[in-house]
Structure 1
Amino acid sequence: MGAFWPRPRVVVSACLGFSAVHYSGELIPDRIVAALREHVDFIPVCPEVEIGLGVPRPTVRLVRGGEGVRMVQPLTGEDLTGRMQAFSQGFLASLGQVEGFILKNRSPSCALKDAKVYAYADRGGAVARGPGLFAKRVEEAFPLLPKEDEGRLTSARIRSHFLARIFGLARLREVRDLGGLMAFHARYKLLLHAHHQAETRGLGRLLAEAKGRPFQEVRGAYEEGFIRTTRHPFRLPSMADALLHAFGYFKRALSPREKAHFLDLLADFRGGRVPLEAPLALLRSWAVRFGEDYLEAQALFEPYPRALMDLRSS
């Protein structure tokens, strides 16, 4: 893939290692976020501080009522819903181009899915879970962009998917002409194939029919298609099909034992018995050995900076 990687712009909850703005007054170190700081341009934000709440501060609650979920501060009885909605709308409208979000889990402002929702502001336990008020606005404003919380990013599979998307999107947004877009598609073809074959074919058709159309229009349509195609993590059978396609480049050059070894390895991967890294490493070694430059350059082998591949799950 080459040594150069553009730096994605990612909105992050400021409490995750940037500022001591957690409601308790703590700074919450996060090893994944810390590792990404060398490769990502972060935009830290604490919505609760931005609407005027202090540090430390009395807790706030999400309360379900007739008009929907509201944010209240039980100690003061203050309803903060309007202030949070106004800040969220203004902040997100001013962001410009971003590639993703990493937000604090369980937060009544930033949680993507797991904030506690209560029936009453001042008593009782949680009756449901859902998005925080800021995170809900994020989803409405950027429905297709990658979003994760720091808890889920401890999963190697989820983290790899998130990183591949933000770095792929950052690289795509650096493309300046149709030739560059076609080169991008060629480089990402196997990775896209592993996510969704039909969508990948649709992107190919888009480029084949692009001549004569304004480039910004074509790139916008391609970008939306790229985000949709990669929205969900790959399934093992689809990735196995992409690996088998790559294997086809070497079928005539390999010995019968080498072919049999790879097909056995592929069957083990498809069955979940070996990690993706095993067949990938073998294919990449053959790409180098046989001088298959097109295959060696595939994003499938290096979908984000190599230094980040050393991260381990907690």
Structure 2
Amino acid sequence: MDKKLKIGISACVMGEPVRYDRGHKKSNFCVDQLSDFADFKPVCPEMAIGLPVPRPTIRQIMRDNIITVSRPDGSGDVTDKLTEFGQKAAQHYGDLAGFVFCAKSPSCGMERVKVYHHHGKGSESTGVGVFAQQVMELNPLLPCEENGRLNDPVIRENFITRIFTYQKWLDLKASGITKHKLITFHSVHKYLVMSHHVESYRELGRLLGRADIELDELANRYIAGLMEALKNKASRRSHTNTLQHLQGYFKRDLDEAKRKELTDEIAAYHQGLQPLLVPLTLIKHYLIEYPNAYLQEQVYLNPHPKELRLRYGY
């Protein structure tokens, strides 16, 4: 990789002691592994608006169908300050490839943030962190995830796939989009999209085949469709379908024994007997023996650095 990704991150997830109790929520994956490929831009919105460390806890409170962020007793309302800071900060995140938020935080949680009733009895996990909400609404294409969910191998691989894909898109935009570049971009991402959402694979192909849409609108609709498709987590079934499509490119090259070997490896993966890496490694081996320029360019085979070992566990 020529350059590192730029990724926004809640400062506590980077291990900075910025929480109300001087604690942190360090993500070992982000700090110890992903940092080899990314420059993080940490932010603590609560400190950014002037709250000290340590500080009284704040929470989301529902009163008259309006959610505010304040101390548990309702004092020290910082809703407007967090909102304004989020809006200003989000306008400068156009060069980010992704964002990692701190789960359950009243400022940074992406979802399921506790919203307390104003009378203090009970809560519902229906809120979105005020800062996170601004970032996501003003940057709808930006891949976002929470620290805790990155411990799940499928969610982790999905997020990392999205940030590396989005970085490629940012690079394409910076180089100047043309119809040819757009079609080439889609061409190398086709099987990646298929592995996540086969209908989007078809829809994006049809979209690029249209001649009645201006280039800027076409590009905007394409990347919106692509990033939405990649939010779907690839399953064993969808990976198996994609692997079988790749297998078809070798039908004239492989002898009966090699065809059976590849078929058996794909079937074993589908049955959950081995990780995705096994049939993929065999396909890559056959690509060395029987080169195919189109397949060799497919992002699906290498959507992220192998050093992250994201396809070893499922």
Contact 1:156 1:312 in 2 (8 A): no
Length-normalised TM-score, structure 1: 0.88
What does residue 36 of structure 1 align with? 34
SS of equivalent to 1:286? helix
Q: Give the gaps of 5 or more residues in structure 1.
A: none
What does residue 243 of structure 2 align with? 243
What does residue 82 of structure 1 align with? 80
| Matched AA of 1:69 | I
Contact 1:288 1:296 in 2 (8 A): no
Distance 1:287 1:131 in 2: 46
Residue 62 of structure 1: how far off its partner (Å): 1.1
Residue 57 of structure 1: how far off its partner (Å): 0.8
Q: Which moved more, 1:248-257 or 1:15-24?
A: 15-24
Residue 303 of structure 1: how far off its partner (Å): 0.3
Contact 1:18 1:44 in 2 (8 A): no
What does residue 64 of structure 2 align with? 66
Q: How does 1:113-124 map to 2 (within 5 A)?
A: 113-120=111-118, 123-124=120-121
Residue 149 of structure 1: how far off its partner (Å): 0.7
What does residue 158 of structure 2 align with? 161
Residue 241 of structure 1: how far off its partner (Å): 1.3
Q: How does 1:180-199 map to 2 (within 5 A)?
A: 180-199=181-200
What does residue 13 of structure 1 align with? 10
SS of equivalent to 2:9? strand
- RMSD (Å) for aligned C-alpha atoms: 2.4
Contact 2:143 2:163 in 1 (8 A): yes
More helix as a share of residues: 2
Residue 312 of structure 1: how far off its partner (Å): 8.0
SS of equivalent to 2:299? coil
Contact 1:7 1:167 in 2 (8 A): no
Distance 1:146 1:20 in 2: 25
Residue 138 of structure 1: how far off its partner (Å): 2.9
Length-normalised TM-score, structure 2: 0.88
Contact 2:157 2:310 in 1 (8 A): no
Contact 2:62 2:115 in 1 (8 A): yes
Q: How does 1:256-267 map to 2 (within 5 A)?
A: 256-267=256-267
Residue 159 of structure 1: how far off its partner (Å): 0.8
| Matched AA of 1:178 | K
Q: Give the gaps of 5 or more residues in structure 2.
A: none
Give % identity: 32
What does residue 282 of structure 1 align with? 282
Distance 2:100 2:274 in 1: 29
What does residue 303 of structure 2 align with? 303
What does residue 227 of structure 1 align with? 227
Residue 124 of structure 1: how far off its partner (Å): 4.3
> CA, structure 1 residues 143+216, in 2 after alignment: closer, same or farther (shift >3 Å)?
closer
Residue 150 of structure 1: how far off its partner (Å): 0.8
Residue 244 of structure 1: how far off its partner (Å): 0.6
Q: Which moved more, 1:215-224 or 1:152-161?
A: 215-224
1:183-208 deviation per Cα after TM superposition (whole angstroms, max 9, x unaligned): 22221111111122222222223333
What does residue 170 of structure 1 align with? 167
Contact 2:100 2:145 in 1 (8 A): yes
Question: How many residue pairs end up in the alignment?
Answer: 308
1:282-314 deviation per Cα after TM superposition (whole angstroms, max 9, x unaligned): 11111111112321221111101222226988x
SS of equivalent to 1:78? coil
SS of equivalent to 2:12? coil
